Chains A and B, each alone.
Chain A
Amino acid sequence: MALLDIKGLKTHFSTDAGILQAVDGVDISINRGETLCVVGESGCGKTVTAMSILKLIAMPPGRIVEGEIMFEGRDLVPLTSRELDDIRAKEIGFIFQEPMTSLNPVLTIGEQIAESLRRHEPVTKKQALERTVEMLKLVQIPNAAGRVHHYPHQFSGGMRQRVMIAMALACRPKLVIADEPTTALDVTIQAQILDLLQDMKERFGMAVMLITHAMGVVAETAQRVVVMYAGKVVEEAPVDELFGNPRHPYTQGLIRSIPRIDLDAAHKTRLEAIGGSVPILINPPPGCRFASRCKHAMSICTEREPRLREIAPGHRIACHLGDAS
């Protein structure tokens, strides 16, 4: 049984212009101890999917319209926010995108990590502090015992993201959702943070759902990859399969847009961009949402929505190309 199994999730937002179908029928599953990458461009519904799991989206205007989110065999969708509080941080930890704004500026980082421990585990204040220092050491913050009493503004971006990781892992959750944890950091720090996440994963054996738009990050960290486009999953495959044999035209476009430094001058080609832009998700047209940008679009593409189908073990795509039925 998968640790987390999202089936047919639809999260919509009511806006002045109409219902925005940010996430519209997403299936994602994560096994214990696995690293799953969710990729896609900005606005494709990656973050909304992740935030829906613990109902961290603003409700209203957001609403989970349909679907189920099975975590260890229990559906999280019908739970109230109060019931979810026992699962938040304790079972599922969250690392956010912006380390500069995701920490409360008026509380010490120690307090912000310890409060999570005190909420979920029967520890005294002193024990919570000791474990906080221990966590800070694990995420390689120098002089952890002293730094625990410092405020977020006394840390750099990379250090703050380490603090966020310590915070997310403090209660030893079974699943960590990292929402673009390296996007706001510069490249050298990005690599350090990804290494740290990998380290922590090996140490604690938790599953990681890594949301990113950087294909480089995917290649480096993922075991399995889910590609999202305009609120839907378009392709899902083990990482080698995805890079070696991408089947959906959108995935192919994404991979062609990665700069290659391993090719010599003779083989170098111009980077390809995917023409057009993401459709507006208020009353989207019927059919495949990628059709308007797709080089292979056929008449059926604008008429019928392609369903996710398995084309090889563990490799699924939602595309009419090569669909015999």
Chain B
Amino acid sequence: MSQYILRRLMIAIPSLLGISVVLFVVLALAPGDPFSELATNPNVPPEVQAALRTKFGLDDPIYLRYLHWLVAMAQGDWGFSFVSRINVDTLILQRLPTTLYVVGSSQLLALLIAIPVGVYAATRPYSLFDQLANTFAFIGFSLPTFFTGILFILVFSVKLDWLPFVYTDLPGSGIKWALEMIRQAIMPVMVLGLFQAASMTRFVRSAMLDVIRLDYVTTARAKGLGQAKVIVKHVMRNAMIPVVTLIALQMPAVFGGAIVTEQIFRIPGIGSLLISSILANDTPVVMAVTFVFACLVVLFNLIADVLYGWLDPRISFR
């Protein structure tokens, strides 16, 4: 098992390298670099500008620049943010917990809604409950988060004044601070979580329906185990196998959606950091943030594969 994980991590290295090459090339091809501001600044003479560019290696061929980046990255030097004037790794470490907190909570919420609703709907297909669940699921994934986000702000912050609509990253401790952290996360978590729950409910329902009519479920029924036990022990366990894949494959989309949601609610996470860095041409930060996203996606795929082996004994870690 641990050997399998180790080998999977080794396999992740080439894919991460590949991703970093693509990211680097795309960013290099994009117009503008950290020094483009200097070019328009009349106080900086062109010779100084050119000297600075040479010093930082910006005029080197692209493969040399990539190698420089890679070597530095491998040594733990993630570069320096030209805008924030601090090291990129410090900056990301400041922002990442907030994103993981919001995205993690919303995924948890999505699972807590999708699994019971999907399972129950599948046991009574085409019943009133199933129809309602389907209708809400369709509404849920038809409405983009930037729309529901603004709608939530309008209703719960502006009209009712129950929840704050700007997320503040106050340092602090104690119960009052913890409650405030929960309170301000409610809206973004709901917006992201409900959106995820909508499509996940559909996955769970159809996966359950695929399994429920299989022969071994009839075998279980023939043992007189009772509906609840048959569903939980024999159907759900098998139905979760494809659901795990889908959830893992959805993770990139979840992080993508989080970028939008972070913008709407002004959450100081890495999503909003990415947007502001792109706008400010802060290349080292853009590079590092996109790379962190890539690592997270690879990590979740690994987790999905490990869960597979746990759920399905036919898969062995060899």
Contact = CB atoms under 8 A, between A and B. Distances in A.
Interface of A: 54, 56, 58, 81-82, 84-90, 93-94, 96, 98, 101-107, 112, 115-116, 119-120, 151, 153, 164, 167
A104 B216 contact: yes
Contact of A106 (B219, B222, B226, B237): B237
B238 A104 contact: yes
A106 B311 contact: yes
Contacts of A98: 215
Nearest to A103: B216
B225 interface: yes
A90 B224 contact: yes
A85 B230 CA distance: 12
Contacts of B233: 107, 115
Given A87-B224, A119-B225, 6 more contacts: A56-B218, A56-B222, A94-B219, A105-B216, A105-B314, A153-B313
Interface in B199-250: 213-216, 218-227, 233-234, 237-238
B169 interface: no
B59 interface: no
A105 B223 contact: no
B223 A88 contact: yes
A103 B219 contact: yes
| Most A CB within 10 A of own CB, among B221, B222, B226 | B222
B312 interface: yes
Contact of B226 (A82, A96, A103): A82
A105 B238 contact: yes
| Most A CB within 10 A of own CB, among B215, B218, B221, B223 | B223
A164 B220 CA distance: 11
Nearest to B221: A56
Interface of B: 213-216, 218-227, 233-234, 237-238, 311-314
B224 A89 contact: yes
12 contacts: A56-B221, A82-B226, A88-B221, A89-B223, A101-B214, A103-B216, A104-B220, A104-B238, A107-B233, A119-B226, A151-B314, A167-B219
Secondary structure of the A contact surface, majority rule? loop
B312 A54 contact: no
A96 B312 contact: no
B222 A104 contact: no
A151 B313 contact: yes
A106 B312 contact: yes
B226 A116 contact: no
Nearest to B240: A106
Those 10 A-B pairs whose CB atoms lie nearest each other, nearest first? A88-B224, A85-B224, A94-B222, A101-B215, A116-B223, A104-B216, A89-B223, A102-B215, A151-B313, A102-B219
A67 B299 CA distance: 59
A102 B216 contact: yes
B215 to A, nearest CB: 4
Nearest to A120: B224
Given A106-B312, A115-B225, A96 B220 contact: no
Contacts of A167: 219, 223
Contacts of B237: 106-107
Contacts of B311: 106
B223 A119 contact: yes
A76 B171 CA distance: 68
Contact of B224 (A58, A84, A102, A151): A84
A106 B313 contact: yes
B224 A115 contact: no
Nearest to A113: B223
Contact of B222 (A54, A58, A82): A54
Nearest to B238: A106
Nearest to B126: A60
A85 B226 contact: yes
Nearest to A89: B223
Contacts of A119: 223-226
A119 B220 CA distance: 11
A118 to B, nearest CB: 10
Contacts of B224: 84-90, 116, 119-120
A47 to B, nearest CB: 11
A85 B216 CA distance: 16
Contacts of A82: 226-227
B191 to A, nearest CB: 35
A68 B312 CA distance: 42
A164 B215 CA distance: 12
B218 A96 contact: yes
Contacts of A120: 224
| Most A CB within 10 A of own CB, among B221, B227, B238, B314 | B221
A81 B229 CA distance: 13
B222 A88 contact: yes
A86 B186 CA distance: 47
A104 B213 contact: no
Contact of B223 (A101, A115, A151): A115
A211 B223 CA distance: 19
Contacts of A56: 218, 221-222
Nearest to B212: A58
Nearest to A101: B215
Contacts of B215: 96, 98, 101-102
Nearest to B227: A81
Contact of B213 (A58, A84, A96, A153): A58
A56 B226 CA distance: 12
A81 B214 CA distance: 18
Contact of B234 (A84, A96, A104): A104
